[in-house]
Structure 1
Amino acid sequence: MTDITKLILRFALVAEQPNSRDEERLSSVSSENSIAGIKRYTGFVRGRDLYSLFDHVTLEANPRAAKVGSVTNAILESLETTPELFPFKSKGILIGTSSYEALQRNRFELAFEDPASEGILDGGHNMLAIGMYMLAAVAEEKEIASIVLWEDMKELWVEYRKELEKERENFDFLVPVELIVPSDPEDVNTVQKFELSVLDICAARNNNAQLTQETKSNKLGFYTEIKDRLDPKIAARVEWKSNEWESSEARPIKIRDLLALSWIPLNKANEAGLLPLDISVTPQNIYRNKGECSKQFDKLMLDPKVSAPIVGEGPTHDLHNDTVKSCFDILADLPDLFDQIYEEFPSAYNSNGYRFGSHTIVKTYDPVKRAAAKDKTAYIATQPTTPYRNRPITYRYPEGLIMPLVYGLKGLMEIQDGRVVWATEPKAFLKKYLNDIAGAYRLVLDMARFDPQKLAKNQSSHEFAVGEFEKALLKHQVLKAPRLGESKNR
C-alpha cells in the first residue's frame, strides 16, 4: 500500500463557499444543503506557503502536462515585473481532494489518496512558472534555461531544496488558489459524488487550454486495457495526455491513431451483433476523421455493459466486456502489422512487374543514386522510418496509400465464442500473400491515380481490400485443409 500524501496549506486570505449561512438559505429552497455535494475555499496563498505543494504534489491529476512555452514565459514576466498585480492577472491554481481538515488560522490539512485524480487539477503552468521563478534565486541561469517540463523543474527543486528554504521569506507575492472538497467528507455518497464530479470540473477548467477528449478519457481509465496490452516499447511512445512530449524527442504516437485502429476489430464485432449498442465508424473515418473515432470510442466505453466506475477509485472505470477486451487484443497487434504493410508494400507492388518508386508521390532513400542524380527531387536525404517501430526503410509515402490495406486486415478476423480473434497468424500471412493482394490492389490505385486522399477517403477501396484479404484467407485455408482421404495428423 502506497503512502498517502499529506500537507498543510495556509491561505493569507480565504472565503468559504457555501458557508453555514449560505447553506441555510439553500436548504430553505432545496432538499440539498450544498451545491452538487461540493464546497470550495477561494483566496490567496503567499508564494512561500506553496512550498508544501512543490515538495509533495505531482501534476498527475492535471489533464495537461505543464511545459515551458509562451504561457509560462508570460507568467514569469508578470512575477518579475509586477508581482503585486499577479493575483489579479492570473487565474491561479485549482486543488481538489476528497480528504481534508479545516484547521485554525486559515490552514488546511490536505490528504491526496489518489494522486491520479486528486491534487492540482488546473494551473500546472502557473505552478511550473512559479517554481522556476523561485529557483532562479538559487540556481544558475543555464539550469533554469534547461527546464522544459514539470519533471525537470522538480528535479532542480529537490536539488536546491535547502537553498530555497533560506529564500522562503522573500517570496511574499500572492497566488490565487481555489480548493474544492466534498461538502460532507464523512458521508460516503457525498464523497463518491464529489470524486465523479472532479473530472468534469477539471475538463471544463482546462477548456481554454484545448483539453483533448482523449486526455479526459485517459483520466477515466478507458485506455488502461489498451496500454496493458501494447508492447511496452510502443506504449512508452504513446502520448496518453497532451504536452507529455518534449519537442526534441521523436514524434510520439498519438492516442487517437490507436483509437482509430481499434475500430477495425470493433467494427467486426458490431457486424456480428456482439457490442451492447449498435455502434461503428465508417472505414474512411479511420483515416480522415479520427476525432469521430475518439467520440465513438468514448460512447462505447461509457456504456454500463462495457465498463463501470471502480468503487473507491473515483472516476476510474474498469472494462468488463469480453468482446471489447478481445478487440483490444487484436489492436495490440495492429501497430506492428501497420508497419509491416508500410514497409513491405513497395516490394510487394514491384513483384507484380510495376514500379512503385516511379510515382512522384513516392520518395526514395538512396544516398548513392542521390549523389549521382542531376535531379535530386526524387530522392530524400534522410532515411525514413516506419510509423510505430521507427524501423529504417527505403520508401517514404503518404500513409493514405495503404490505409485501405490496413483496414483490409479485418478480413483475417473471425468470431469465436463471442470474441474477435485472428483466423490465422497475420504476420506470416502477410509474408505469404501480400504480393498477391498488392497485385489486385493496383486496380484501386490506378482508379485513384495514386492519390492517397481519394484512396483513404473512399469506402469502396476499403471494402475492396477486405474482400482481397478474405479471398486470400480462403485460399490459405483450402491449401492447409487435408485432402480427401488424407489424415489431419499426417
Structure 2
Amino acid sequence: MTDKKSIIIKFEAESDQTVGDITKIVGLVQARFFIPIIDALNLEANPRSSRTGSVTDAIQETITNSPKLFPFMTKGVLLASSQYERLDRGRIKLEPNNPKIEGILDGGHNTLAIGLYILGQSMEYHGMTLSSSAKTWDLFKEIWIKNRILVDAYIKDITAKVTKNNLDFLVPVELIVPKDKNDTACVFSFTNNLLEICEARNNNAELQLTAKANQKGYFNALKELMELHNPAIAKRIEWKTNEGGAVKAQDIIALSWLALNLLSPVKEANSDKPLEPVAANKLYSGKGACLKQFEKLMSSPDVTGEAEDGYHAELINAEVRSAFRIAVDLPDLYDYIYENFPKCYNANGGHFQAITACKTLNRKRKVKVTPFKGKEIDTLTPDGFIMPLFYGLQALLGKREKNGKKEIYWTTPPMTFLNDNFCKIVDDYMGNLSLCDYDPQKVGKAQKIYIDAIKTYKMAKAGML
C-alpha cells in the first residue's frame, strides 16, 4: 500500500449534498489554498494524464484576463477521499486511502494549468522564467518540487502585502467522500463506485477506451510482464493516455491477438455468449476493434476477478497470462520482420523501391526507425505488407496443459526461426503483393493472405521451403 498523504484545503461558500452512501462537498478554494492539492496529489486516479495544449492555454488566459469570472467559466476539479476530517474555518483534512482510485478524479487539465500559473508567477517574482519543457503533468511536478521554495516565498510576500496578489482567483472544487467514513460497508460502496463516477465525469472529453481499460487495471498483467521481460519496449509504451510514449497501448494490444486468438472459449460479462476471436486482418485495419474486444475479454468473469481494493480487475486466467508472455516477445519479432523484409524482398529478385507505396513512404519520412523499438534502419515498409507476415508467426504457437493449467507456448524459438527461414518465407509471400497490385491497403485487409502466411510458416517449420 502506498504511504498516505494528508492535505488540508480551505473552502469558501461550502455546501453539502448527500445521496445514498456518498456526500458531495461543493465550494470555492482560493488559489493559494489550492497549492496543497498540487503538492500532495497526482493523477493516478484520473483516467488520463494531463498535458499542455490549447485547453491549458485557454485556462491560464482566463485566469490572467478574467480572474473574477474563472469560477464561472470552468467546472473546476473533482476530488475523492475515503478518509477525511472536518476542521474549523471551512477547512477539511483529506487522507486518500488509495491514490490509485482516490485523489483527482476529474479536472487534471485545470490542475495542471493552475499549477503552471502559480509556479510561473512565483518564478517571475524571483526574476526567473518557467521552462516550456513542463508539457506533461509528470514533468511539471518535477519542476514544481524543484522550485517549491519559490512558491512559499511568493505566498509569504503576498500575505505580508509586500507584492501584488496575482493569486486572488477562486477554483471551483467538488469533494466526494463516504457519508460515514467509519462504516466499512459505506466506505466499500463509495470506493466501488469511483470508476463509474470518473468515467461519467470524463465523458464530456470523450474518454478513450484505452484510458478506461488502463484505469480498470486491464493492462496491468501485460504491463508487468513487459517491464520484467522486455524493459526496452516497456519504457516506450503509453499505457495511460497523455502520459507520453512512442508506442501506443492499442498497438501492443493489437499484436497480442496473435496469441489471444488461440484461447479456449470464455464467456462475455453478463452473458453466456462466448467471446468472438479477432479477425486476423483487424490487427492491421481495426486496432480500435482489437482494443474493444480486449476490453470484453478482460471484463469476462472467466478471465479477471476483483482485486483486493474492490476496484481494479485482477487476472485469474492462466491461459490468458501465458498469451501475455507470448505478447512480450511480439514487438521485437514485428520489428525484425519490418527491418528485414526489404532486404529479403530484394534478395529474392524483387525491386523494393520500385513499388510506388514503398518509394513514396521512404521519400516522405526523413526519420527511419522500427515501429516498436525505434531502431534506426535504412528502409521503411508499409505496415499492410508486414502484418500478414507477422501473423504467420501463429504457426509457431501451440497449446498444452502444464501443471493442470492450459498454456499457449512457442513450439520453437521464434527469433531463431526467423533468422533461419525468413527470406525463404518472403520468397513464397511475394506473389501476394502482385495479386493485390502492390497496394499495402489491399494486402493488409485481405484475410486470405493471413491464412496463406500461416501455411507458409508451417511449411518452413516442416522444412518444405
Do they fold alike, i.e. is TM over 0.5?
A: yes
Query: In 2, distance between residues paired with 1:300 and 1:264?
Result: 14
Residue by residue, what CA displacement relative to the aligned partner does 1:24-53 show, whole Å, maximum 9, x if unpaired? xxxxxxxxxx43x22211111111211211
Q: Which residue does the alignment assign to 1:29?
A: none
1:407 aligns with 2:391: yes
- CA change 1:79–1:252 in 2 (3 A) is same
8 Å Cα contact 1:211-1:242 kept in structure 2: no
Query: In 2, distance between residues paired with 1:212 and 1:2?
Result: 27
1:443 aligns with 2:440: no
For residues 261-410 of structure 1, what are the structure 2 equivalents within 5 Å?
261-270=255-264, 273=265, 277-311=274-308, 313-363=309-359, 382=366, 384-410=368-394
1:201 to 197, 220, 226: 197
Please tell me the residue identity of whatever aligns with 1:420.
I
Query: In 2, distance between residues paired with 1:461 and 1:197?
Result: 46
8 Å Cα contact 2:48-2:241 kept in structure 1: yes
What SS does the aligned partner of 1:345 have? helix
Q: Which residue does the alignment assign to 2:67?
A: 83
Please tell me the residue identity of whatever aligns with 2:262.
K
Deviation of 1:106 (Å): 2.2
Deviation of 1:216 (Å): 1.4
Q: Which residue does the alignment assign to 2:239?
A: 240
Q: Which residue does the alignment assign to 1:11?
A: 11
Where structure 2 has 5 or more consecutive residues not aligned to the other structure, the ranges are: 160-164, 269-273
Q: Which residue does the alignment assign to 2:451?
A: 463
8 Å Cα contact 1:360-1:378 kept in structure 2: no
8 Å Cα contact 1:437-1:472 kept in structure 2: yes
Please tell me the residue identity of whatever aligns with 2:170.
L
Deviation of 1:274 (Å): 7.0
Residue by residue, what CA displacement relative to the aligned partner does 1:382-405 show, whole Å, maximum 9, x if unpaired? 351111112222211211111111
Please tell me the residue identity of whatever aligns with 1:108.
I
Residue by residue, what CA displacement relative to the aligned partner does 1:156-184 show, whole Å, maximum 9, x if unpaired? 33333333234334323211000011222
1:475 aligns with 2:459: no
Residue by residue, what CA displacement relative to the aligned partner does 1:251-297 show, whole Å, maximum 9, x if unpaired? 71010001111111111224xx4788333111111111111111111
Query: In 2, distance between residues paired with 1:159 and 1:465?
Result: 54
- CA change 1:432–1:160 in 2 (3 A) is closer
Residue by residue, what CA displacement relative to the aligned partner does 1:113-146 show, whole Å, maximum 9, x if unpaired? 2212111111111111112222232214632544
Query: In 1, distance between residues paired with 2:266 and 2:455?
Result: 22
Q: Which residue does the alignment assign to 1:158?
A: 145
Residue by residue, what CA displacement relative to the aligned partner does 1:327-381 show, whole Å, maximum 9, x if unpaired? 00110010000001111112222232222222122249xxxxxxxxxxxx97578
Query: In 1, distance between residues paired with 2:385 and 2:104?
Result: 44
Q: Which residue does the alignment assign to 2:29?
A: 45
Query: In 1, distance between residues paired with 2:365 and 2:64?
Result: 45
Please tell me the residue identity of whatever aligns with 2:57.
N
Q: Which range moves more in the overlay, 111-120 or 99-108?
A: 99-108
Q: Which residue does the alignment assign to 1:55?
A: 39
Q: Which residue does the alignment assign to 2:271?
A: none
Please tell me the residue identity of whatever aligns with 2:234.
A
Q: Which residue does the alignment assign to 1:118?
A: 102
Q: Which residue does the alignment assign to 1:482?
A: none
Question: For the pair shown, which has the larger CA radius of gyration, 1 or 2?
Answer: 1
- CA change 1:69–1:381 in 2 (3 A) is closer
Q: Which range moves more in the overlay, 73-82 or 98-107?
A: 98-107
- CA change 1:378–1:234 in 2 (3 A) is closer
Q: CA RMSD in A?
A: 2.1
Q: Which residue does the alignment assign to 1:224?
A: 220
What is the identity percentage for the equivalent residue pairs of Structure 1 and Structure 2? Answer: 40
- CA change 1:106–1:379 in 2 (3 A) is closer
Please tell me the residue identity of whatever aligns with 2:95.
A
Query: In 2, distance between residues paired with 1:432 and 1:60?
Result: 45
Deviation of 1:449 (Å): 1.3
Q: Which residue does the alignment assign to 2:418?
A: 430
Q: What TM-score, normalized by structure 1, do the two folds share?
A: 0.85
- For this pair of structures, how many residues does the alignment match? 441
What SS does the aligned partner of 2:300 have? coil
What SS does the aligned partner of 1:40 have? strand
Deviation of 1:465 (Å): 0.7
Query: In 1, distance between residues paired with 2:9 and 2:416?
Result: 60
What SS does the aligned partner of 2:462 have? helix
Please tell me the residue identity of whatever aligns with 1:460.
K
What SS does the aligned partner of 2:98 have? coil
Q: Which residue does the alignment assign to 1:254?
A: 248
Q: Which residue does the alignment assign to 2:130?
A: 143
Residue by residue, what CA displacement relative to the aligned partner does 1:178-228 show, whole Å, maximum 9, x if unpaired? 001122222323222222211121122122323211111111111111112
Q: Which residue does the alignment assign to 2:86?
A: 102
Please tell me the residue identity of whatever aligns with 1:48.
R
Please tell me the residue identity of whatever aligns with 2:410.
W
Query: In 2, distance between residues paired with 1:425 and 1:458?
Result: 28
What SS does the aligned partner of 2:262 have? helix
8 Å Cα contact 2:267-2:300 kept in structure 1: no
1:73 aligns with 2:57: yes
